[in-house]
């Protein structure tokens, strides 16, 4: 039997820091990814913190119009992480809904870990909702281990956070 056609792996992914003009697309991905999304202001504020990085994953998008010398590219995911002392803390991660299960989330997590490693970090930490099976599966696949639970961390629903750590 023939296998169903799978979406192409993101071999052509590029990464760069978010700029103010990227905010509308990042807000769109954020709103589509979370029941309680970060606001535009909150995302924008990250740009002003020296310790914060908002890293975008971009891909060529043949359907987009292109000016001379410009690349037709689209933001397909992003990650927000802080580097404080020897720790990378991941605060936010999302892949555009139509681009999921193509390795973009994994690639963003690996970029953040690598950025931390280059700057002397020794661990990555994060909190994730207990019910977020997709994200937990991703972190486990990357070697993260559960080190604790913060009860009722997500106050809106009284949901616990699982605390996960990766040693770099
Ligand atoms: C979690 C999220 C970022 C994953 O992004 P993604 O680009 O789809 O992830 P990847 O394609 O890199 O997945 C890598 C691995 O993670 C695991 N994984 C990812 N999504 C999964 C799912 N829905 N179910 C089970 N495992 C999953 C798998 O092991 C997968 O490898 P495989 O596709 O070879 O089986 C994405 O689902 C998302 O944006 N969700 C909404 C926002 C969110 O919950 N962010 C996390 C907040 S802590």
**Residues 65-84: pLDDT tens digits?**
566 666 689 999 999 999 99
* Ligand 1 within 6 A of CB of 128: yes
- Side-chain half-sphere CA neighbours of 57 within 13 A: 27
Q: For residues 100 and 109, what is the distance between their CA atoms, to the nearest angstrom? A: 14
Beta strands in 63-116 (DSSP E): 73-84, 87-95
Q: For residues 124 and 104, what is the distance between their CA atoms, to the nearest angstrom? A: 18
pLDDT band at 147 (very low <50, low <70, confident <90, very high): very high
Which of 11, 95, 97, 160 for mutating ligand 1's site (highest number of atoms within 8 Å of CB)? Answer: 95
* Ligand 1 within 6 A of CB of 135: yes
Alpha carbon nearest to ligand 1 atom 15, residue: 138
Residue 4 above 80 pLDDT?
Answer: no
Q: Which residues of 121-160 are buried (b: 16+ CB within 10 A; e: fewer)?
A: beebbbbbbeeeeebbebbeeeebeeeeeeeebbeeeeeb
Alpha carbon nearest to ligand 1 atom 22, residue: 134
């Amino acid at each position: 039997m023939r296998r169903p056609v799978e979406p192409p792996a993101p071999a052509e992914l590029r990464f760069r820091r978010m700029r103010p003009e990227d905010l509308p697309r990042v807000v769109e991905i954020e709103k589509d990814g979370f029941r309680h999304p970060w606001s535009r202001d909150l995302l924008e504020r990250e740009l002003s913190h020296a310790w914060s990085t908002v890293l975008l994953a971009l891909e060529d998008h043949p359907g987009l119009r292109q000016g001379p010398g410009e690349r037709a590219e689209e933001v397909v995911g992003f990650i927000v992480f802080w580097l404080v002392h020897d720790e990378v803390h991941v605060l936010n991660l999302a892949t555009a809904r139509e681009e999921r299960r193509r390795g973009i989330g994994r690639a963003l997590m690996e970029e953040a870990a690598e950025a931390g490693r280059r700057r002397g970090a020794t661990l990555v930490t994060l909190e994730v909702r207990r019910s977020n099976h997709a994200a937990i599966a991703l972190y486990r696949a990357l070697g993260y281990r559960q080190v604790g639970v913060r009860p009722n961390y997500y106050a809106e629903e009284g949901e616990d956070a699982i605390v996960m750590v990766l040693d770099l």
